[in-house]
Amino acid sequence: MKLLHLPPTEKTPEVILDDELSLFQVKGLCLPENVRDFSQTVIEKLEYYMQILDRTQESDLKKKPFRVNFKLGYFNTAAAKFIADVLMHIKAHMQAGSHIKIFWHYNEDDYDMLEAGEDIAKMVDVPVTFVMVVRMEDGYDQSGKSMH
């Protein structure tokens, strides 16, 4: 069940928190005009779910890691703080024993996005897997999803 679904806008990314998929995903452009309001909503829902996850570690949730995906096309400085705040919340739960995997997706030719992810991960001191998305000539990425 989706606990949170914020559709994308011209300035904000799509945000999904889905307990059935064990997934938190931020996808798209992240340039919110009021980053405080945007981040507060997202972090409150995420923190609520993470507390549930912490209490249920002996169940089936422990077998399936909670996945955190960042699939950003671009983000501004204010959004970088939002991303770091999200990762700091997640890190606290990882240290408490929650099974969480963090993935930072970037386009094969976007080394700035890779470097930004590496910088934030290093600053927060959290393990992140970097996933290069290869664009194919037919407009699809390596997973078969349309890039259009």
Longest Cα–Cα distance of the chain, Å, equals: 46
| pTM assigned to the model | 0.86
Strand order in the sheet with 66-75: 2-6, 14-18, 23-30, 66-75, 100-107, 129-133
Task: State how far Cα 98 lies from the chain centre.
Answer: 16
- Mean pLDDT, 10 residues at a time, over the chain (148 residues)? 90 94 95 91 92 69 81 94 96 89 95 97 97 71 46
What domains, with CATH codes, occur in the chain?
Answer: 2-133 (3.30.750)
Tell me, what's the pLDDT at 57?
59
144 DSSP assignment: S
